Each structure stands twice: as structure tokens, then as C-alpha cells.
Amino acid sequence: MSRALEAHTLLPVAVETVEQVATTTSGLNARYLAGAEGEECVRRRVVITIAGREPSVWAESYLIPKRLPPEFLPVLGDSPQGIGGSLQQIGLESWRELLWFGLGEQPAWSPGGAPGGPVLWRFYRVITGGLPALLISEAFATEMRGGVYRLSGSEERNALGGPCADESVGGG
């Protein structure tokens, strides 16, 4: 997702790991990961900022290590591009299945306050080898501009990459 944000905003994006701990699956997480309650997993929380500003995205992931290649976690630990960059780096064939999206509040675990308004949530899983291996929830900070929700920390840009004078012009 970090490279998609860089492409969208034409600004540098930083992924900061807030927490990465060994835990076990439970409740809906176990169900969405098609596993048993109490299965070993890794919970990872990151904050993504655009151009060094306030946080724009908060993400929480549950990973089932035994469903991923052994080199995945070390690559993830060294990757400034997060999960997506790590999956691409090791060349893991996978696909994503969107489970839910909508507006809500920022995650309870996130430090600080969300700029602007509500956050846009998306909740999906990454499937590889025929089984879900990762369950990911992402919360995007939004603000209302020109009657439309926009990603906080991004600016409207024209085709040449510069800021647009009129927010109704350019991509969103």
C-alpha cells in the first residue's frame, strides 16, 4: 500500500512499525483466517505518514507464519514498504479478498488524534496456497474538501504533479 500512496500523492511515504508481537488467533480473526482458536500468529501494527506529516493510515495485521515462506518475516522486518513490499520482494503468489469497508473512528490503539474527520476502513485477507495467511485492517484518515472525503495528508495534483488551484480538477 505504501507505493500506491506514493503514486497517489507524489510524496514520500514512511511506514513505522508500532508493534509486532507473537499472539494467538481468536474470535472473528480465527474465523477469517480459516483457522482454529488459539492458533499461533503475529499481530503487527503500523502507522503510515505522508511526507513526514501527521499519520494518514493505521494498519493492523494478523499473520499466520506457518502459512508463509520462512523468509517472509525477516524480509518484513527489514522492509520500509511493509507487507505489500515484502510479499513482492519474496515473489509470493497471493491474492486479496476484500471483506468489509466503511467509515468509522480511528483505531483505539493509535497514538494521537486523527486529523479531519472520520476514517475510512478496509478489512481484507491475503490468500496464498489456498488458505488465508494474513488478515489486514487499514484505517485511512480523511478530511472533507470540496464536498468529497479525501485522504488526509494528500493534495490534489495536476497532470504535471503540481498542486491544483481548483480542487475540483485533478485525480482523487
Number of residues written out for the chain: 172
Using 50, 70 and 90 to split pLDDT, how confident is the model at 12? low
Reading phi first (left if > 0) and then psi (alpha if -120 to 50, else beta), residue 116 is in left
Q: Which pTM does this prediction carry?
A: 0.80
Neighbours of 114 (CB within 10 A): 21
- Interatomic CA distance for residues 137 and 107, integer angstroms: 10
Using 50, 70 and 90 to split pLDDT, how confident is the model at 164? very low
Does residue 155 surpass a pLDDT of 80?
no
CA atoms within 13 A on the CB side of 24: 5
Residue whose entry in the numeric block shows the C-alpha cell 472525503: 149
Computed over its alpha carbons, how large is the radius of gyration of the chain? Answer: 17
pLDDT of res. 75: 86
- CA distances (Å), origin 6, targets 25, 41, 161: 32, 29, 12
pLDDT in tens, 108-142: 888 765 555 688 999 999 999 999 999 999 998 88
- Interatomic CA distance for residues 149 and 90, integer angstroms: 35
Domains located in the chain, CATH noted = 2-151 (3.40.1410.10)
- Interatomic CA distance for residues 8 and 115, integer angstroms: 19
Does residue 145 surpass a pLDDT of 60?
yes
pLDDT of res. 113: 55
Residue 54 sits at φ, ψ, to 5 deg, of -65, 160
Of 44 and 5, the structure prediction assigns the larger pLDDT to 44
pLDDT in tens, 17-67: 889 999 999 999 999 999 899 999 999 999 888 776 778 889 999 999 999
pLDDT in tens, 56-108: 889 999 999 999 999 998 888 777 777 887 888 888 889 999 999 999 888 88
Helix axes 2-9, 82-90, angle to 10 degrees: 110
